[in-house]
């Protein structure tokens, strides 16, 4: 009977434990797979790449033979009062035509441009993939950093609460003043406000990550305790700069854009040149009479030959078109030069930022140890009466603030490694495996 009485009370707890047991944290690679199939920006870039493939096939058709078929039927009712002749007749015709370009330099340039368009779309797809990796990584580590901040605030709340209880006890026995109690109460109220803000920030960060991957119950795996950031330290800067110049997708797109502009100039110049086509024609006609005769007849005609067109004068349109394409070619070259300088600068900035981040982690690690030692010393001093309560509270705040900054700095190093790879154009989905290996 007692068991049955307690069962309804246990059901909510069992249900909650079941949810907690079934909730599994997702790794960075798992969430990337989800984001890749859900993110609208990446899907748009993929669709653009597919569209460029079909567009290239359209340009390829310019160099292939072309054929057409046409047929017709005519009915005539002929009446002549002078000749007193009434006659009705019809005619059927069918024509099969074909042509194939033998010399069309403009079409050749258009086809080569379409192949460059495929390469350009491929580079754009790589850039979109890198952008997705960066957005996912930032959202992922934002959640982890916000989670750590909330945990540190809660730990600080517990520590301040203990200090508040200690101040109340000391005041009751007469070894401390009411000031210590009020200072501890004020700090406790402040920590409560910080906890509310941290909880809200975590909810916002989780929603942002869930929106990116298309999941409502995202729970990223945290970083393991034995994190060795030396594995994410940057190598020689020159190597990153060389890699950026040779592999960056933005530079690849602009280099291809320059090639396309040069081909456009060749197309404009080709307007001066003749075009040569192979043409063939087969026509069949069946006539069941005419206005002058009731006799029917059938004709079949086959024609094959070569057609050549020579442009003579187009009102200086061709010359001005060539000047236009030469100017656009120069613009494409200038755009490429500007992008090379900007990407080199971005690579240097990312490299130095990663090195600076590693230095900050080492500094915060030392600061955390020092802050812990300072807190222990202040606690001991407060117990023996050489320190006041506010000294202990300040030491606690400094310790937990340092721990939060240390946690954020570690995540910034992991993101800095990805940022350096993106700046140099070498970022790939496989690079997430190194970070995934340090998750638990």
- Sign of the Cα torsion 358, 364, 365, 370 reads positive
SS3 at position 134: helix
Q: What is the pLDDT of residue 162?
A: 87
Q: Are 122 and 253 in contact (CB under 8 A)?
A: no
Render pLDDT for 386-395 as a digit per residue (tens, 0 to 9).
787 888 888 9
- pTM for this prediction: 0.82
Q: What is the pLDDT of residue 172?
A: 83
Q: Are 277 and 302 in contact (CB under 8 A)?
A: no
Q: What kind of fold does domain 25-64+115-145+200-273+319-436 have according to CATH?
A: Outer membrane efflux proteins (OEP) (1.20.1600)
User: How large a percentage of the chain has pLDDT more than 90?
Assistant: 64
Render pLDDT for 125-171 as a digit per residue (tens, 0 to 9).
999 999 999 999 999 999 999 999 999 999 999 988 988 888 888 78
pLDDT tier, 181 (very low <50, low <70, confident <90, very high otherwise):
confident
- pLDDT at 117 > cutoff 60: yes
| DSSP, res 176 | S
Render pLDDT for 368-404 as a digit per residue (tens, 0 to 9).
999 999 999 998 988 887 787 888 888 999 999 999 9
* Region 63-87 average pLDDT: 78
Which residues neighbour 196 within 8 Å (Cβ) at sequence distance 6 or greater? none
SS3 at position 325: helix
Pairing relation of β-strands 85-103 and 297-309? Answer: unpaired
Phi-psi region of 98 (alpha: psi -120 to 50; beta: other; left: phi over 0): beta
| Spans of all domains in the chain | 25-64+115-145+200-273+319-436, 66-103+274-310
* Region 272-279 average pLDDT: 93
| DSSP, res 439 | B
What are the backbone dihedrals phi and psi of residue 414, each rounded to the nearest 5 degrees, phi first? Answer: -65, -40
Q: What kind of fold does domain 66-103+274-310 have according to CATH?
A: Outer membrane efflux proteins (OEP) (2.20.200)
């Amino acid at each position: 009977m007692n068991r049955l009485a307690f069962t309804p009370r246990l059901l909510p707890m069992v249900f909650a434990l079941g949810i907690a047991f079934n909730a599994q944290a997702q790794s960075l690679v798992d969430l990337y797979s989800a984001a890749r199939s859900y993110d609208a920006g990446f899907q748009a870039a993929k669709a653009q790449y597919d569209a460029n493939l079909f567009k290239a096939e359209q340009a390829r058709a310019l160099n292939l033979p072309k054929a057409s078929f046409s047929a017709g039927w005519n009915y005539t009712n002929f009446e002549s009062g002078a000749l007193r002749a009434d006659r009705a007749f019809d005619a059927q015709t069918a024509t099969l035509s074909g042509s194939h370009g033998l010399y069309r330099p403009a079409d050749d340039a258009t086809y080569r441009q379409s192949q460059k368009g495929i390469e350009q779309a491929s580079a754009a797809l790589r850039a979109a993939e890198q952008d997705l990796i960066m957005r996912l990584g930032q959202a992922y580590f934002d959640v982890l950093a916000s989670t750590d901040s909330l945990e540190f605030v809660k730990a600080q709340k517990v520590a301040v609460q203990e200090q508040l209880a200690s101040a109340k006890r000391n005041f009751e026995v007469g070894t401390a003043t009411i000031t210590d109690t009020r200072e501890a109460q004020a700090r406790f109220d402040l920590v409560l406000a910080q906890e509310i803000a941290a909880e809200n920030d975590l909810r916002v960060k989780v929603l942002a990550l869930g929106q990116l991957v298309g999941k409502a119950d995202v729970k990223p795996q945290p970083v393991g305790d034995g994190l060795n950031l030396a594995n994410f330290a940057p190598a020689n800067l020159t190597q990153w700069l060389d890699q950026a110049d040779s592999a960056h997708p933005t530079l690849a797109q602009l280099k291809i854009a320059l090639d396309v502009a040069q081909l456009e100039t060749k197309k404009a110049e080709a307007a001066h040149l003749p075009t040569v086509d192979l043409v063939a024609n087969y026509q069949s006609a069946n006539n069941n009479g005419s206005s002058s005769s009731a006799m029917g007849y059938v004709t079949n005609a086959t024609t094959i030959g070569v057609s050549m067109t020579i442009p003579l004068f187009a009102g200086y349109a061709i010359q001005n078109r060539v000047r236009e394409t030469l100017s656009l070619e120069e613009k494409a070259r200038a755009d490429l030069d500007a992008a090379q300088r900007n990407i080199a600068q971005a690579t240097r900035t990312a490299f130095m930022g990663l090195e600076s981040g590693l230095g900050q982690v080492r500094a915060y690690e030392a600061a955390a140890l020092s802050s812990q030692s300072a807190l222990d010393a202040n606690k001991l001093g407060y117990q023996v009466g050489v320190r006041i309560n506010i000294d202990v509270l300040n030491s606690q705040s400094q310790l937990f603030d340092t721990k939060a900054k240390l946690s954020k700095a570690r995540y910034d190093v992991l993101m800095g490694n990805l940022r350096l790879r993106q700046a140099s154009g070498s970022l790939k989905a496989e690079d997430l495996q190194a970070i995934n290996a340090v998750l638990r």
